[in-house]
Structure 1
Amino acid sequence: MPIRPLDETDYPGVQALHHAVGWPARSLAGWRWLHSNPARLGIDAPAGWVADTDDGALAGHLGNLVQRFHHRGRTLYGATGFSIIVLPGARGQGQRLIRAFNSQPGLFARWTFNANTVSQPLYARHGMMPWPEQTHALKLGWPVAPLPLILGKTLKTLHGIAPGPVSRLKEQLMNDRLGRAVRLTLPQGVSLLEDVSDNSSYAAFWSALCAEDRLLSDRSPATLRWRLADPDQTQAPLLLAVQRDGAMVGYAMAQMAKGNILEPPVLEIVDLEALADHSDAVPLLVKALKAAAKQLGAAKLRLPVVSPLQLERLGALAGSARREGGWGHCHVIFEDETTRDAWSPTPWDGDQGFCLRPVPLSQDAREPRPLVAAVSHSKA
């Protein structure tokens, strides 16, 4: 079975692979959107790789999301692998796909921040180390509705006992807040981020962030607008900002998701950043997101990629979270070792922003539904 770069004509076959393993499948428009990734096009990198069977079908896939990074005036490129799928009859193709991913030139590093318990041993065999050392197996979760979480665990247990009957259930643990624009109550100092134009306060925040001595994945207004244009979203991501003295000093991006038919909805943090002199904006944003999660119908707020810097910034709020994960879901191979200590990744650097399963909402319009109808502020 040959391994070759992914072509746009392969997208129906990639959809079929996702359906075969029960993973959320992108629309063809969604795959074309990923194909249009400006960073990938900038270095003419493959959009991924596939394994062909003898009859021309696809037996395996590994996606390749290239990202542009900035550090000390330099522009660097790195890539995260995603959606590695190998059918049972294609033994050994997973390792060949990872080798193809790790062999692409011109990158300071290659990584996955979303490995599952089955795939994570594969990465170590290919020289990818668990990283960050202290937090590579950690996710943080803040429950806001305990009952749906308990019911979700019960359904998961029942699935292990009787997978056939449970798999035939319809979507479980939905609620009437999902898909409805809510009046969001935010803490003082936190506001909705609605303008991501090139002349916005967000653009000034991004310029200030780039001036710091850190390795940062491109969050420029143009890149953020591209991310927000994902056609497979059923609800627009929630963007929050902290403004002080007329300037933006921190921001967060979160998406509503539902892992499968048996799990409750979760508000997933996709990005969380603040200027160095305003580190206290990070726990403020998480408190705002935690309040928003309940109002939006989520059972919990989750931070699926955690760095030591984020743990430090979260302070006592990290201690109040449930420690999730437990396996090495973050693996990296560095080509430029000088970048390691300068990089504090968030889920933005991984595949969480586009591999999350959207909350299944029926809608006629193509545009994703807004999450928020209006905003009020609390004193806390």
Structure 2
Amino acid sequence: MTLREITEADYPAIQALHRSVGWPERSRAGWRWLHANPARLDIGAPAGWVADGPDGQPAAHVGNLIQRFRLGDRRLHGATGFNIIVTPTVRGVSRQMLQTFTRQPGVFARYTLNANAKSQPLYARHGMQAWPERTHALKLSWVVAPLPLAISRVWRRLYALAPDRFAGLGEQLMNGRLGRETRLGLPRDVHRLTDFGDASPYAAFWEALVAEGRLLADRSPEIQRWRLRDPDLTQPPLILSVMRDGAMVAYAMAMMAKSNILEPPVLEILDLESLAGHSDAVPALMTALTTAARAMGAAKLRLQAVTPRTLDRLGAFAGNARQEGGWGHCHVEFAPGSPDPALWSPTPYDGDYAVCLRPVPLTAPLAAQHRSRQAPKGSARAESRA
């Protein structure tokens, strides 16, 4: 089976593949935006690969999300694979896809922070190790509305018994707070962040982070502006900062998402960072995010990638969290000569969550609303979320 790099002509077929497994579909504009990733263009890496089926149309897909990294003055690149989909007509091609992904040049690490329970054994067979050692199987969540979560569990049990009866079912567990402008009641030092200019307080915060000498996914104003231009977002992410003595010392980014028609909305934490000496700002951000989750109509707040450093900075929030996951969803392969892994403490920002989460369907056009009425699972084999 021959793999080839994705082209713009493949977008409709890739959308159909995502639809077949009940995963979020990007618009053509969304695929073009992803293709224009500045980090990918830096090194000329493929945006992903497809394998054609007997009809000549893509029957398998893997995305290739390139991220810039900074280590002091050094600029590096990493690659995270996302949305491996293999249909029965090309069964077995996932092995070749992972080999192609893990052998690509120009990156210090090939990784996923978002493997599902079914696919995670594939990564070990391709030289990727479960990492970080203590937390690779851990996700954390904080419940803010128990009733929608209980109703969702009932819906999912009913679906497992009679999936055909859900074919025409519309979006469930929506509520009137979704998408509304709401006062969040933020703590005194926490503010909404909207300015990502090159001379903004955020730009100074980013330079101060870089100066600490850790290995960091690029959070520069340029990359943040590109991320916020994602045309498939139905509402902008919630971005918060902590200001002290006129300087920004911590920030968080979170996105309202809804996995499928039977799940309640969740406020997903995409990023959570603070300067050294200001780790107490992280609990302040978590307090604000918990309050915001309730006000924005989320059933819970969730952090899907956790490291030992993150656990330390969460403080009491780590002890109060529900533990989700339970399988090795974080795997990595470091290239020879790569930086010391101890310098890297990834958040969900480093992974594929920003491009794979399903936005709450608020302002999508009628055709997109129709497509969102998809079952939680489809007939094709969805190898991985990463």
TM-score bucket (shorter structure): over 0.9
Task: Measure, in 1, the Cα distance between the counterparts of 2:202 and 2:240.
Answer: 11
1:237 is the counterpart of 2:220: no
**CA shift for structure 1 position 166:** 3.2
- Preserved CA contact (<8 Å) 1:47 1:65: yes
Q: Which one-letter code corresponds to 2:205 in the other structure?
A: F
**CA shift for structure 1 position 194:** 1.4
Report what 1:341 is aligned to.
342
Task: Measure, in 1, the Cα distance between the counterparts of 2:219 and 2:212.
Answer: 14
Report what 1:370 is aligned to.
none
Task: Measure, in 2, the Cα distance between the counterparts of 1:266 and 1:228.
Answer: 19
**CA shift for structure 1 position 337:** 4.6
Q: Which one-letter code corresponds to 1:316 in the other structure?
A: A
**CA shift for structure 1 position 316:** 1.2
Q: Which one-letter code corresponds to 2:341 in the other structure?
A: R
Task: Measure, in 2, the Cα distance between the counterparts of 1:211 and 1:125.
Answer: 37
- Preserved CA contact (<8 Å) 1:141 1:323: yes
- What's the CA shift string for 1:90-139, capped at 9, x where partnerless? 11111111111111101110001111112111111101111111111111
Task: Measure, in 1, the Cα distance between the counterparts of 2:265 and 2:30.
Answer: 22
Q: Which moved more, 1:4-13 or 1:25-34?
A: 4-13
**CA shift for structure 1 position 364:** 6.6
Report what 2:41 is aligned to.
41
TM-score (norm 2): 0.93
- Preserved CA contact (<8 Å) 2:49 2:97: yes
Aligned 1:1-380 pairs, distance under 5 A: 1-335=1-335, 336-362=337-363
**CA shift for structure 1 position 215:** 0.2
Unaligned runs of 5+ residues in structure 2 are 367-386
**CA shift for structure 1 position 154:** 1.3
- Preserved CA contact (<8 Å) 1:158 1:166: no
Q: Aligned residues: percent identity?
A: 63
Secondary structure of 1:182's partner?
Answer: coil
Task: Measure, in 2, the Cα distance between the counterparts of 1:72 and 1:246.
Answer: 24
- What's the CA shift string for 1:259-287, capped at 9, x where partnerless? 00000000000011000110111111111
Task: Measure, in 1, the Cα distance between the counterparts of 2:268 and 2:67.
Answer: 21
Task: Measure, in 1, the Cα distance between the counterparts of 2:312 and 2:228.
Answer: 29
**CA shift for structure 1 position 16:** 0.8
The structure whose RCO (Cα within 8 Å, separation 6+) is larger is 2
**CA shift for structure 1 position 363:** 5.3
Q: Which one-letter code corresponds to 1:37 in the other structure?
A: N
Secondary structure of 2:79's partner?
Answer: strand
- Preserved CA contact (<8 Å) 2:140 2:304: yes
Task: Measure, in 2, the Cα distance between the counterparts of 1:198 and 1:59.
Answer: 42
Task: Measure, in 1, the Cα distance between the counterparts of 2:35 and 2:339.
Answer: 30
- Preserved CA contact (<8 Å) 1:184 1:292: yes
Report what 1:375 is aligned to.
none
**CA shift for structure 1 position 253:** 0.4
Task: Measure, in 2, the Cα distance between the counterparts of 1:66 and 1:118.
Answer: 24
Unaligned runs of 5+ residues in structure 1 are 366-380
Q: Which one-letter code corresponds to 1:12 in the other structure?
A: P
Q: CA RMSD in A?
A: 1.2
Aligned residues: 365
